[in-house]
Each structure stands twice: as C-alpha cells, then as structure tokens.
Amino acid sequence: MNDDNAPAANAERNERIANRSRAANWKKPPRRIETSECITCDSCLRSCPEEFGAIFDRGLDVVIVPELCSGCPVCVLECPVDCIYVDEDWAPTDESMWSHIEVTPVSAP
C-alpha cells in the first residue's frame, strides 16, 4: 500500500469495523481458512494487506474476518498448505471476535 493512502485506508478499515460490514464495492466474496487443514504458520496473517487486516489468531486457530476481507488472493498465494478458500456462504462474525479487533490509528500524511 502506498503510504500516502494509509490514513484513508485505515479510516475505511475502521469504518468496516464500526459497521461490522464489508465494503459495498467489493465484488469478490471473502476467504475462509479450513482449520482442519491449517498448520497455524501465520503466513497468511503476515501477508494480509494492512488496509484489510482481516486475519487473526484465535486461540489455536487462524481465522479470516469476512467483513474485513476483500477477497484478494494475497493470503492464498502465501499459504504453504493451500487451506484458504473462497467463502461464498460466509456468515457474520460473532461478537466475541469483534471485541478483539482493534481499530487502526489514522494519522495525517
């Protein structure tokens, strides 16, 4: 991400967190991690673009928050075990997960 766009991208992410909804202009469905196939290496978490910040450690599992996931393939390309799939039938993220998601500081360029 271009650093000049960071404040706007962070503000957009924070809005998605506040509204608990995906961006209206995202055409691709979000991704999901098949936990039975995942080796919890965190490659996906480290590769998720900062403006989305959609992947989190949740205890022993790594999860993708669909409301924050644009459906881009970055995590898929980094996963060594190919356990990340398109999630056409995604469900809203449960409230307990939202309580662990922090907003991103928005600073002027």
What are the pLDDT digits (tens) for 31-70? 999 999 999 999 999 999 999 999 999 889 999 999 999 9
The mean per-residue pLDDT over the stretch 5-20 comes to 89
Structural contact between residues 29 and 63, judged by C-beta atoms closer than 8 angstroms = no
Give the lowest-confidence range in 9-18, 37-46, 86-95.
Answer: 9-18
Taking residues 9-30, report their average pLDDT. Answer: 94
Residues 103 and 109: their CA atoms lie apart, in Å, by 18
| Farthest-apart Cα atoms in the chain, separation | 42
Q: 103 versus 85: which is more confidently predicted?
A: 85
All domains in the chain, ordered by first residue: 3-95 (3.30.70.20)
In whole angstroms, what is the distance from residue 50 CA to residue 16 CA? 14
Within a 10 A sphere around the Cβ of 7, how many other Cβ atoms?
Answer: 15
CB atoms within 10 A of CB 62: 23
Query: What residues contact residue 81 under an 8 Å CB cut-off, 6+ apart?
Result: 37, 38, 39, 41
pTM exceeds 0.85: yes
- Two tokens, residue 51: 């403006």
Residue 100 predicted with pLDDT over 90: no
Does residue 99 or residue 34 have the better pLDDT? 34
- If pLDDT is split at 50, 70 and 90, which confidence band does 108 have? low
Statement: residue 4 has pLDDT above 90: no
Q: What is the mean pLDDT of the chain?
A: 91
**What is the DSSP-derived secondary structure letter of residue 15?**
H
